[in-house]
Structures are given as C-alpha cells and as structure tokens.
Structure 1
Amino acid sequence: MINVQKALDYIQGVLSGEIVANKYIKLACQKHLDDLQKSETDPDYPYYFDAAKAEKVAKFIQLLPHTKGKWASKGEKITLEPWQIFACCLPFGWLKRATGYRRYTKLLIFVCRKNGKSAIAAGVGNYMFCADGEFGAEVYSGATTEKQAWEVFRPAKIMVERTLQLKDYFGIEVNASNMARPADGSRFEPIIGKPGDGSSPSCAIIDEYHEHKNNDLYDTMETGMGAREQPIMLVITTAGSSIGGACHQMVRDAERMLDGAIDIPDLWAVLYGMDKDDDWTSDIALKKANPNMDISVSAEFLQARQRDAKMSAAKQAIFRTKHLNEWVGAKNAWLNMAKWAMAPERLPLSALTGRPCFIGLDLATKIDMVALVLLFPPYGDDKRYHVHGRYYLPDSRVIEELDSNTDRYRAWDKEGLLSLTMGEVIDFDAIKDDLREFYGRFDVREVAYDPWQATQLAQEMEKEGMVMVELRHTVQNLSEPMKELEALILQQRIAHGDCPILSWQASNVVAKIDAKDNIYPNKERSENKIDGIVALIMAMGRANVHQHMGNIDDFLDNIIIG
C-alpha cells in the first residue's frame, strides 16, 4: 500500500507541523486518524477503512499520462503528490460496515488555481467511468460554460486516447464530444448549464463551483444519483466572489463539519487556503493555500503575483481569491470579510431585553427583500455592538424562479431566516407587528427610515408613540456611520452572529468614494442585495448621534468607549 502510506505520512507531517497547513487541513487529517481509531476499536462504529480500495484509485490515476506542460511533452505519467492521494484517493477507502458501499458520496476539494485540479478531476472521472465496477456508469463533467466543462473532460479524453491499453481493455470509444463503453452502455461526457432530467449519474464532477449562478446543475445531478448505490459528487473549486452562493455555503458547511459543529457523514472535505489571521502578504499564506507550490505552480510565479497585489488594489482581490482561496464578496469589496468572519459572540435577543436599541429600516423596494436591523450598542461591561435582523420577502420570490437569488432565498427560507409575506409585494403589516414587538421588549430609542416607500408606515408608527427618524440615503447621512461601522468590524466589536443573509450582503457592498474622502454604500449588480448593511449603517448613524450629543443619559451612563 505504497500510496496509502504516502497519504498517511502526509497526515503525520501536517499534524507534527513539518508540513505547513491551515486549520482545516489539520482538522481533516485528524478526523481521518480519529475515524480509523474508532473503526478499529468500536465494533458498532458504522464505517471501516479498506486501504486496498484507496490504493486502487491512486494506482489507476498514476497509469494515466499528463496532457499538457513539460511532463506531457516528455510523455510522462501522472505522479500524485501525497496531498493529492490524501485529498482524492483516501475517501474511496471508507466504506459502510452494513453494506460495503462507499461512505463518502460528496468530495469537496477546495484548492487554488494551478494546483493540478483538472488532472485530479479527470483522473477520478476516468476511474469512475471504466474501473469502478459500476454497470452502465454515467460520468458527467459539469460547468456553467462549454469552455469550463471541457477543462475536465478534455484532459480525461486525451488521457484515454494516449493510453491504448486502457482504451482496448475496457472497449472505450472516444468520440468528438463523449466517451462510451458499448459493452454496458457506460458514458463520460461534458454537460453545460441547466441539464434536463433523466440522467442517472454514477459520478458528477462540478468544476469551479463558485462560478455557478444557481444550483440547478448540482441539484439535478444529486437528484439523479438516487438510483445509484455509491455515487460520487466531486466538487473541485477555488474561492470566488459570491458569498452566500451555493459554493460558499458548501465550503462553510464543510468548515463547520470539520470544526465539529455539525455532522455531515457523507462529505469528505479538504480545504486549502490561508488561515484567517495570516498576513496575506506572507510566504506562509502562499504555502498553506498552494500545496503544489514548486511542483505545478512555481513559488516565483506566486510571489510575483503577490508583489503585484501589494501595489495594486485592483489586483489584490483577484490574487487573494485565486491564489489564497479567500472569498471576496464584491470585486472591489468595501469590507475585510476575513475580519467580518472573526466577529465576537453575539448575545441572543432573549439576553438583550431592556437594553437600549436603535433600529434601521430599509424599505427601498416592495417586491424584493426589505431589511429591519436592530443595533444594541455597548452597555455596562459589554463592549460589543450586537446586531440582529429581520428580512422580509414576498413569498413569490421563493415560489417562482424570478432571478438568480431564488436558490439562496429558498435555502434561507428552509433555515427559518426569512419572514415571508403572501403575494407579489411585501405586506408592511408584518413589519409593523415586529416593530410593536421590539418596542415592548427593548428600550428602542429610534427607528431610522428612508422616506422612500416608508412615509405612511412611519406616520402610523408615530401615532403609536414610536420615535421615527427620517434618514435619507445621502452621502452626508451615511458616510460617517459607514466609516464607524468599518472601524468597529476591524476592532472585532460587531457581533453579527454569522448571519448568512447579512454576511452575503456585507460582501456585496462596494464603497463609492468621492473627492472629499466621503464614502457611500453601493453594489456592482442589482442582484447583489445590500439592504441589511444599509439598515445597519442607518442604525449606527443614529446611535452615534446620541452618543455624541449626550441626550440619552442612561445610555451614556452605561456605555464603555474604547
């Protein structure tokens, strides 16, 4: 078991510190060892490891030739690096004790560009096509564009064409746009965009998942796998700019699984990238994010891109996304999302009863999302700003396929994060009811609102005794609280509870800067919603006014500044 031993040596190197790796690679390595121990000592543990199964995959892939670059020009076969054996071969060895079928049906390999992703994916695809023992195998290389779909299928096709023994032994027909095995009807082909129903994949390869605007391809492939006993969904991707999208959510779930917060027994995840507290300009960040450095991607190349990024803000986001695997929400994002992710623990609403509170209400539209954000400033010994939000949406936005946000709206609805109102437009009565509830539970000082769409609601609430403050969305009104919010995020004093809606919207904000260094929240595309952040900025603006004017004595008596 030479290859499996290489993977085990890699695991030991990572855990000993000999091999530089990030938190999640260390956790993945430790998880494999912990599961091995459980499988050997606990007869009731539902899984066991068959090293021969993992070894078979590694041997098969290494019989295939390189298809481009210096190794291809010399006719050399693929040599898997220890990290690659760990990432894509070891999961094939984990089986269910009850059935003998594979434990892991979803493999997530999250690694930067130029680290040999396509070769790994093509090798696994060819294995699943002809060597997995699946009668009538169906293998698909899926992507959003034809070019991307062929990034995996083309090398897989070339590998078979250049390995005559493989082609002849399995009776493979290599056609212009697919490969087939007539003996049992197996096929391997690229698939683009939204596929039709009817496929029954034994293996689906989702390349550069972060580029997918919706989850149609993934969902169709996953649904079709129901007829297979041990299918494989291989997702191999870098980070991207769509925080809150399906790819980002999958990576976040994998992080939470490795952290032990949730259990996803059928997901194998290896997540390469720098740690949150790493300096992105350092060599160690490059090493953690690029396990194939000085193999398929040179250190000199990466260091040159790093130097470019240091000198150009425009190049920094691209570098950090593609070569450090850091999610960047907007291409010229306002917030440091790594700092955003390091927020302090948020108190639940039940622990904030009676505390001073400022509410921001963004009612810019009636046909899409509306945000109501509660901001609880520092109080007593608590230096944190606690942020809670309510997000309203017409149920038609969830029921119908209206735009590219439909999938994320549906996911958030399943998690209970949205307040849906019936019909095509938002029913403002739901917002009024929540305002009444908050006035009864908390010491609400003011509700800030933009008069656009909200004048009537504000007048009705004022009649009930609420303090409604008109706050137009102008540079003059939003610049200072926006700067204050950014500073507090960098100081890790904004406790937002890692709300996926607010985090997605935070990543969408682009700072529009004028000649006087004033800033204003903007977005690159209409579908990049920022309502929650705008509402938070509004609430911060009113909290700052009261803090500086000194007109709420009990608030100032208890606030801690610093």
Structure 2
Amino acid sequence: MNSKNNRKVKEFDFTRRDTDLLQTFKTLMDEGYFNEIFEKYRDPATRYAFKVLTLKQVASYKIQLACFRHLNDLKRSICDHDFPFEYDLNDCHLILNFAKLCPDVSVNKPVPLMLWQQAILCLNQGWRTKSDNQKRFTYALISVARTNGKTYLTNILLAYSFLIENAEEYNQDYLYSAPVDKQSIKGWRYIRQTFQQLSNTPGFKKLIKNQRIEVNDETVKNRKTFSNLQRLTANSGQFDAYHFLLAIVDEYGDPHYANGAMGKITSGQVQKVNHETLAISTAYDNPNCPMFRDEKRLTEVLEKDNSREEDRSLLMVWEQDDIAETDRPETWVKSNPLLDLPSMRETLLNGLLDEKAHRSSSGDIYKFQNRNLNMWLATSANKYLRLDDIQQSIVSNFNFESRDCYVGFDLSRFNDDTAVAFVFPYTDDKDQRFFIYQHSFVPTAHSQKSIVLKSQQDGIDYEAAEKQGFATISKNRFGEIDNEVVGQWYLDFVREHNLNVKAFIYDAHLAAPLIEWLSQQCPDVPFVTLRQGTLSLDPPTRELRKMFEMRRISMLDDPILQYSLINASLFENAYGVKVDKESRSAKIDVVDAIIDAISEAQYWFTNPERNEIDSKQPFAGWSQEKIDDYYKNDFSF
C-alpha cells in the first residue's frame, strides 16, 4: 500500500460480528499502517500496546481495546488536523521520572514499575489537548485484581499532581475518597506515609519545606498556595462543597457509591481547568453499581472506534475474559499483571492457587473469581442467573411486527414497579428461543414524589430508561401508578406492532379491575391466572434459567430488565423454587412478569393453541374479597 493511503486514518466498529479486533490489527500491521507510529513513539504505553496486540503480552479483551484506541489515536493526532488531542512525550518523561523517586509505602523506597504500570501513567499524563496542553482524560477508570499495586499508582499520581503538576495553582481542592471511614483511614495512611517519606527524600525535602506542606489525619495542606487534599467518604455527603482539581475515588465498585456520590464529585469539576477524576477498584460482588455501568458503557465506547463518544474518558481493565479461565492459571496474568514480575510470580501464583483450592472446597469459588480474577459475577450462592448469561443475551434489535407473543403482568404493591413483559417464542436454526421485552411503570409516591430519589433508592436510572422507551414514570400529582395509563399503553403497543397475543398471564391479587377492563378490550385473548406458589412457579422458573444458560434468550440493552435479572435470587421449599429478592429495595417485578409469561410461552413449540379455552376470564364477576381469598389460600408451603 502506498504511503499516501497510509496517511489516512481508518475507523472501525468492533461491535460488528464481521470485524475482529486482533485480525484487524494484524491486517493493518501487514499494510504498514502503524509504521510511522512504531518509529516515532517508543514510550512505555505505545510499546505495551504493540506488545499486547501482537500477542507477546497476554491481556484481556478490554486491555486490547484500550491499546488499539491508543495506537489509532496516535495515528489521528498525526494525520487528522481536526483531532483535538496529541500525545506529549515530555509529559510522559515527567511522570515517569517522578515515579522513580516516589516511594512505595510497603518497602519505604521507590520500586521499579512494570511496563503496564508505566503505560497507565503515560496514558494518563501524556495525552493532552492540542489547543492548551491540558490533560485529555477528565475521567479514568482503572480496574485490576486485588494485591496488584493499585495503591502505589494512585499515590504517585496524587503526589505528582499536588507537588509538581499544579504546584503554582492557588486554593485548589484535591480528594481521596473511599466508601466508608474504615476504608478511607487505611488508604489515607498510605497517602500520609508517601508525603512523609517524600519529605525526607533528597530532591523533595526542600520542595516540601518551601511549599510548607502539613500532613494530618484528615488533610494534606499546602500553606503556601492554600491548596488542600481532603479525606472524605462516599456516604459523607460533603462533596457538594468542593471543586476538586483531582479526585481519587478508591474502591469505586462498592455499593456505597450508588448514592450519587460520583455525580456530586464530577459536577463540581466542570469549571476547573486540567481536572480529572480517577476511579480505581477491583470488581465487586454486586454488578448493580455505578462502576459496572461505567465499565460497560466505556467498553462500548472503545469498541466503536468510528465514534468520538466520550473521547475524554480512559478505561483500562485487567480481568479474565471467560469463567472457564478459572481452571487455566496460565491466563491469570490477564487479571493479575504482577504475575509477569519474576520476583513476584512464584509467591503470587502459589497464593492464588491456594485461594482457589480453598474456595473450591468450601463451595464458594465465585468469591475467588470475583476478587482474585477481577470478574463481575452475581456471586451469591442462591443467585438466579449468572451475570455472563445475562450479558450474552443482549442484542441490538428485534423485529416485533406481527409475531405471536405471551404477556406477563405484575401489578405494583407499595413502592414496587408495575411490569408488563412480552415473551416472543421463535426458532433460529431449529433452536427454540425466546425474545423478552418489558415496560415498567414507576411510582414516586413513596419517594417524596421525586424520581431522582426513587432512582437512588432502587439503583436504576429511571429517567434514562424512560428516554429509551423501557419505562413510564408516574405523572399524576399523587405519584401513584394509574391503571388506565398501564392498560392503554399495553393496548397501544399490541396494536402498533400487530401482535398476536396468545395469552395474558397474571397474578390475580389486586389485578381484577384492570384485568376485567382489558378483557373487555381484547375479547379474543385468553387471560390466565398463575398461582404464585413454588408448585406453580417451579417449571417456568427453571425453564427460563435453562434457556439463559443455553444462550437461547435474547433481549435489548434494557437497564431495568438487566437490573432485575441480576437481583433475582432463588427461594426453595419442598414443592419447588421461585424467584425472590435478597433485600426489600431490590426490584424483581420484571422477572416475576417474565416468568408468568414463560409459564405459557414454553408450550408454544409443541402446542401453540393450548390457551383456546372456554373460560377466558376466570375471575370475571368475582369480588375482590373472593379473589384475595383465592390468592391467600393458594400458596403451597
């Protein structure tokens, strides 16, 4: 290929099934596309990127994506005048030289950094805006398994920003945040020790004295510039008072950050020049948290190299790519990059093998996978579904038009959502499959009529879900769900897509008025009650899980649906199983509705006309008292 064509930046979408990341890179290398980059940049981040993508370094898919983005952005910075960022090797040298002098608190002296650690520092500091040389990345999310040196890197970046990069800036706020006070005290001890050791290090002793640095249990103060580094916790509620130049968010995967703390941190930074929020963590046991959502979103950003969405966010995740790698120690370097350090390899590997054996024998191997292999899992032993089964089911689109479907309905009680679920059975290459779709109706009556508070309580961004078409937020002045709105939405959706509803399955409790009205509007649709005991729910509950495990479920990228599936746990008694939730605030209304629909949809493949029954309205004419009595006496415990 001629040099002129090699000057043109190519763009890729790795979400496409016909576009493979590593094969794409190999083709580009063979064409000489990256020759100029290879010759010009020999810094650690670029060398690490080439090493990863040429498979000389074992790395996770997300690290491969981050490396490809770095190389193609280097190409953009040279060949595309409109690309607003450039890579400054001088800033790379500055942070690396500082790191050589910054002590590791575990040994009280500087420790040589591995290539992957140097790459993080260079990517963070080297990418700059062309217009004013400010840091490109205003948000960075770094995730790696436990005991792999996250603290050391955090301390280097924090001390560098406070002492060197912004030493002449006055009245600046800096943040070190951890979920709760106990965790923040531990992290702060390392930060305080770093500054104390630097104050006794040649080259920094005079600098720290001149800046009149004071370190205590809560702050690091620069008495010369009146800048402060604060220790705060996610549940302190004090972030609104500050405009942080650099914010370190430690253990971001902890559920305490689900209270909107990150939004309070970043909202105060919008007026700051050269600001950044650095979130660092290992995967936690509950993926219903802001970190998992950020990681998922930014992974999609990396995959879409042809889009310039969130160009100022950095994502680097060292993790295992597949649960099967649990039994392949040779791959564990993906989540534990310190395994490549000769002096650490034997000790770390033996420790990991011992922990795996211990967790296997005690029946909680998922804890090893989560904590030591940095894998997001639904880790409770009684979780209904595995996270990877849920994630593998997401598709970009589905054609609803003129299909057979089954509808499940779960009516709101107290602060729960009302859920309408559609299950579309179909065959694909002779496999039996289900596509599931839901719409939730969200009350605000018990959350001070505030959808923001309701979202925080439930851990679901309902406003975003409503914009995507997956929810309707209560609009009446009482904050209650209007059954007429629910019924009309259902009728409109069915008519819009010309659906052939084979059965409408519901829990009879409190539903009689709405069901009676709907049955009058849809006289040809069988309305079927489903007893809510384990004896009745066991078959569809097991069927849905089996179809997820066999990869025969598909669904859209619906945050409410995913949240509900992740939250669902199994309750078991002598009569069978059904889904339940582990906490009162957990939302599984959607899952209940889907299982209701599956109870009939599972027979579509063998007997699609089974619901052509005489009594299509089994509760028509019944009093609410009689229905309640039927409901109460129907449990088989």
Q: TM-score, normalised by structure 1?
A: 0.90
The match for 2:241 among 198, 201, 211 is 198
Question: Contact between 2:460 and 2:563, CA under 8 Å: does it hold in 1?
Answer: no
Residues of 1 paired with 2:438 and 2:584: CA distance? Answer: 21
1:19, distance to aligned residue in structure 2 (A): 1.1
Residues of 2 paired with 1:498 and 1:41: CA distance? Answer: 35
Q: Give SS of 1:48's match.
A: strand
For 1:272, the equivalent position in structure 2 comes to 318
For 2:573, the equivalent position in structure 1 comes to 514
Q: 1:453/1:308 Cα in 2 relative to 1: closer, same or farther (>3 Å)?
A: farther
Q: Give SS of 2:244's match.
A: coil
Q: Give SS of 2:269's match.
A: helix
Residues of 1 paired with 2:239 and 2:60: CA distance? Answer: 39
For 1:560, the equivalent position in structure 2 comes to none
Question: Contact between 1:204 and 1:233, CA under 8 Å: does it hold in 2?
Answer: yes
The match for 1:14 among 45, 52, 74 is 52
Residues of 2 paired with 1:439 and 1:8: CA distance? Answer: 54
Question: Contact between 1:346 and 1:495, CA under 8 Å: does it hold in 2?
Answer: no
Corresponding letter in the other structure for 2:193:
I
Q: Give SS of 1:89's match.
A: helix
Question: Contact between 1:58 and 1:85, CA under 8 Å: does it hold in 2?
Answer: yes
Residues of 2 paired with 1:428 and 1:460: CA distance? Answer: 10
**Bigger Cα displacement from structure 2, 205-214 vs 507-516:** 507-516
**Bigger Cα displacement from structure 2, 391-400 vs 116-125:** 391-400
1:47, distance to aligned residue in structure 2 (A): 0.9
Taking the TM superposition and a 5 Å limit, the aligned residue runs for 1:231-246 are 231-246=275-290
1:241, distance to aligned residue in structure 2 (A): 3.1
Residues of 2 paired with 1:330 and 1:16: CA distance? Answer: 34
1:410, distance to aligned residue in structure 2 (A): 4.2
Q: Give SS of 1:535's match.
A: helix
1:259, distance to aligned residue in structure 2 (A): 1.0
For 1:118, the equivalent position in structure 2 comes to 151
Deviation sequence 1:379-421 (CA, Å, 0-9, x none): 5867431111101102455435255326633443455532112
Taking the TM superposition and a 5 Å limit, the aligned residue runs for 1:73-472 are 75-133=108-166, 135-136=169-170, 137-163=172-198, 164-165=200-201, 166-170=204-208, 171=211, 172-192=213-233, 193=235, 194-213=237-256, 214-260=258-304, 263-276=309-322, 278-293=324-339, 295=341, 298-313=348-363, 315-329=364-378, 331-332=380-381, 333-343=383-393, 345=395, 347-348=397-398, 351-379=399-427, 383=431, 384-395=433-444, 397=447, 398-399=450-451, 401-402=453-454, 404-405=457-458, 408-413=461-466, 415-422=468-475, 423-440=478-495, 441-464=498-521, 465=523, 466-472=525-531
**Bigger Cα displacement from structure 2, 9-18 vs 364-373:** 364-373
Q: Give SS of 1:100's match.
A: coil
Question: Contact between 1:161 and 1:167, CA under 8 Å: does it hold in 2?
Answer: no
Q: Give SS of 2:253's match.
A: helix
Residues of 1 paired with 2:428 and 2:377: CA distance? Answer: 35
Corresponding letter in the other structure for 1:211:
D
For 2:552, the equivalent position in structure 1 comes to 493
Residues of 2 paired with 1:476 and 1:329: CA distance? Answer: 26
1:91, distance to aligned residue in structure 2 (A): 2.3
1:284, distance to aligned residue in structure 2 (A): 4.1
Q: Give SS of 1:114's match.
A: coil
Deviation sequence 1:81-113 (CA, Å, 0-9, x none): 111121233221111112221111111101111
Corresponding letter in the other structure for 2:269:
M
Give the fraction of aligned pairs with identical amino acids, expressed as a percent.
23
Question: Contact between 2:148 and 2:337, CA under 8 Å: does it hold in 1?
Answer: yes
Q: 1:282/1:310 Cα in 2 relative to 1: closer, same or farther (>3 Å)?
A: farther
Question: Contact between 2:175 and 2:247, CA under 8 Å: does it hold in 1?
Answer: yes
1:183, distance to aligned residue in structure 2 (A): 0.5
**Bigger Cα displacement from structure 2, 492-501 vs 7-16:** 7-16
Question: Contact between 1:376 and 1:387, CA under 8 Å: does it hold in 2?
Answer: yes
Residues of 2 paired with 1:392 and 1:308: CA distance? Answer: 45
Q: 1:347/1:377 Cα in 2 relative to 1: closer, same or farther (>3 Å)?
A: farther
Q: 1:229/1:129 Cα in 2 relative to 1: closer, same or farther (>3 Å)?
A: same
Residues of 2 paired with 1:27 and 1:407: CA distance? Answer: 28
Question: Contact between 1:281 and 1:306, CA under 8 Å: does it hold in 2?
Answer: no
1:42, distance to aligned residue in structure 2 (A): 2.2
Q: Give SS of 2:508's match.
A: coil
Residues of 2 paired with 1:380 and 1:21: CA distance? Answer: 34
Corresponding letter in the other structure for 1:357:
C
Question: Contact between 1:103 and 1:266, CA under 8 Å: does it hold in 2?
Answer: yes
Q: 1:474/1:23 Cα in 2 relative to 1: closer, same or farther (>3 Å)?
A: same
Residues of 2 paired with 1:439 and 1:223: CA distance? Answer: 41
Structure 1 unmatched runs, 5+ = 555-562
Q: 1:483/1:312 Cα in 2 relative to 1: closer, same or farther (>3 Å)?
A: farther
1:169, distance to aligned residue in structure 2 (A): 0.7
Structure 2 unmatched runs, 5+ = 1-40, 613-637
1:277, distance to aligned residue in structure 2 (A): 6.5
Q: 1:49/1:177 Cα in 2 relative to 1: closer, same or farther (>3 Å)?
A: same
Q: Give SS of 2:232's match.
A: strand
Q: TM-score, normalised by structure 2?
A: 0.80
Return the index of the structure with the highest Cα Rg.
2
Q: Give SS of 1:249's match.
A: helix
Question: Contact between 1:357 and 1:376, CA under 8 Å: does it hold in 2?
Answer: yes
Q: Give SS of 1:433's match.
A: helix
Question: Contact between 2:404 and 2:502, CA under 8 Å: does it hold in 1?
Answer: yes
Q: 1:345/1:412 Cα in 2 relative to 1: closer, same or farther (>3 Å)?
A: closer
Deviation sequence 1:30-83 (CA, Å, 0-9, x none): 111111111112222211100111221222133121212xxx1xx431322111
Report the aligned-residue RMSD.
Answer: 2.4
For 1:35, the equivalent position in structure 2 comes to 73
